[in-house]
Structure 1
Amino acid sequence: MNDTTGNGRPLAERVATRLLYPTARPRDKALREAVSGRVVLVTGASHGIGKATVRKLAAAGAVVLLVARSREDLDEVAGEITAAGGTAFAYTADLSDMDATDRLGRELLDTHGHIDVVINNAGRSIRRGIDESYDRFHDFTRTIDVNYLGPVRLLLTLLPDMRERRAGHIVNISTWGLRMPPMPRWSAYYASKSAFDVWLRTVATEIAADGVTTTSIYMPLVHTRMSAPTDFSGMPGLTSEEAADTVCHAVVAKPVEISPWWAGPLQAWSDITRGSTHRFISRSRGFHR
Structure 2
Amino acid sequence: MLFPKKFINKDKLINELTGKTIVITGASSGIGEQLAYYLGELTCHLILVARREEKLLHIKKTINTAKVSVYKADLRNQDDRRGFLSFIYNLDTDIDFFVNNAGISIKRSIYDSLDRFHDFQRTMSINYFAPVEILLSIIPNLERSNGQIINVSTINTLLVPFPYFSAYEASKQAFDTWFQSVSPELNARGIFTTSIYLPLVRTPMIEPTKTYQTKPAMSPNHVAQIISQSMYKKKRSFKPWWIFGGEVLSLFLRRVWEKFGYRFLK
Answer yes or no: same fold by TM over 0.5: yes
Deviation by residue 1:182-232 (Cα, 9 ceiling, x = unmatched) = 111100001001111111111111111111011011111111101111121
**Do residues 243 (structure 1) and 223 (structure 2) align?**
yes
Tell me the residue number matched to 2:27.
Answer: 45
Tell me the residue number matched to 1:96.
Answer: 76
Tell me the residue number matched to 2:254.
Answer: 274
Q: After TM superposition, give the deviation of residue 128 of structure 1 in Å.
A: 0.4
Tell me the residue number matched to 1:172.
Answer: 151
- DSSP-derived class of the 1:59 partner: coil
**Do residues 58 (structure 1) and 40 (structure 2) align?**
yes
- DSSP-derived class of the 1:284 partner: helix
Distance 1:67-1:250 versus aligned 2 partners, 3 A rule: same
**Given residue 75 of structure 1, which amino acid in structure 2 is its aligned partner?**
L
RMSD: 1.5
Tell me the residue number matched to 2:65.
Answer: 85
**Do residues 36 (structure 1) and 15 (structure 2) align?**
no
Counterpart mapping for 1:96-245 below 5 A: 96-163=76-143, 165=144, 167-231=146-210, 232-245=212-225
Deviation by residue 1:141-195 (Cα, 9 ceiling, x = unmatched) = 00000000011111111002222x1511000000111122211110000100111
Q: After TM superposition, give the deviation of residue 23 of structure 1 in Å.
A: 4.5
Gaps in structure 1 of 5+ consecutive residues: 1-18
Query: Percent of aligned pairs with the same residue?
Result: 35
Q: Is the CA contact 2:95–2:145 (under 8 Å) kept in the aligned structure 1?
A: no
Gaps in structure 2 of 5+ consecutive residues: none
Deviation by residue 1:6-62 (Cα, 9 ceiling, x = unmatched) = xxxxxxxxxxxxx22335342222211111110000000010100000111121222
Alpha-carbon separation, structure 2, partners of 1:111 and 1:233: 41
Alpha-carbon separation, structure 2, partners of 1:280 and 1:251: 43
- DSSP-derived class of the 2:170 partner: helix
Tell me the residue number matched to 1:14.
Answer: none
Q: Is the CA contact 2:21–2:93 (under 8 Å) kept in the aligned structure 1?
A: no
Alpha-carbon separation, structure 2, partners of 1:38 and 1:115: 8
**Given residue 225 of structure 1, which amino acid in structure 2 is its aligned partner?**
P
Alpha-carbon separation, structure 2, partners of 1:23 and 1:199: 31
Q: TM-score, normalised by structure 2?
A: 0.95
Alpha-carbon separation, structure 1, partners of 2:44 and 2:89: 16
Q: Is the CA contact 1:31–1:252 (under 8 Å) kept in the aligned structure 2?
A: yes
Alpha-carbon separation, structure 2, partners of 1:25 and 1:153: 34
Moved over 4 A (4+): none
- DSSP-derived class of the 1:94 partner: coil
Q: Is the CA contact 2:94–2:145 (under 8 Å) kept in the aligned structure 1?
A: no
Alpha-carbon separation, structure 1, partners of 2:112 and 2:5: 36
Q: Is the CA contact 2:96–2:145 (under 8 Å) kept in the aligned structure 1?
A: no
- DSSP-derived class of the 1:261 partner: coil
